[in-house]
Amino acid sequence: MSKYQFFCKPNDQRNDFTYLHMEDEQFVEQKAQLLAWGFEVEGDVIHASHPNEAIDKFESDFIYASEEYSNAQPAVGLYHFVMETYKQLVSRFHRG
């Protein structure tokens, strides 16, 4: 997965944005130029397979990040396991 960093104009509600591919050799220079033009770093680094995926994740307003974080927590994983097991048991009992 590649890493992307997004930049926005201040007080623009993320309407005017751009991004940089962080593995690009010119990343540091391009970032400095964007910051000089008045852009600000917006949010965390986004990991994505391609730029369109990164844009989709950015535009989702980081809902995916909170979902990934939540699912990575052991208690949440246990909760989902218990709930899915319960649903399976209930559906089997209602069939017969």
**pLDDT tens sequence across 28-67:** 999 999 999 999 999 889 999 999 999 988 888 756 556 6
Closest CA to 16 of 65, 58, 48: 58
Q: Both 39 and 2 in a single domain? A: yes
How many domains in the chain? 2
Query: What is the residue range of 22's domain?
Result: 1-61
Looking at the structure, tell me whether residues 57 and 77 fall in a common domain. no
* pTM recorded for the entire structure: 0.63
Residue 52 pLDDT: 94
The answer to whether residues 6 and 40 belong to one domain is yes
Q: What is the pLDDT of residue 59?
A: 85
31 in the same domain as 42: yes
Per-residue pLDDT tens digits for 23-38? 999 999 999 999 999 9
> In this structure, are 3 and 45 located in the same domain?
yes
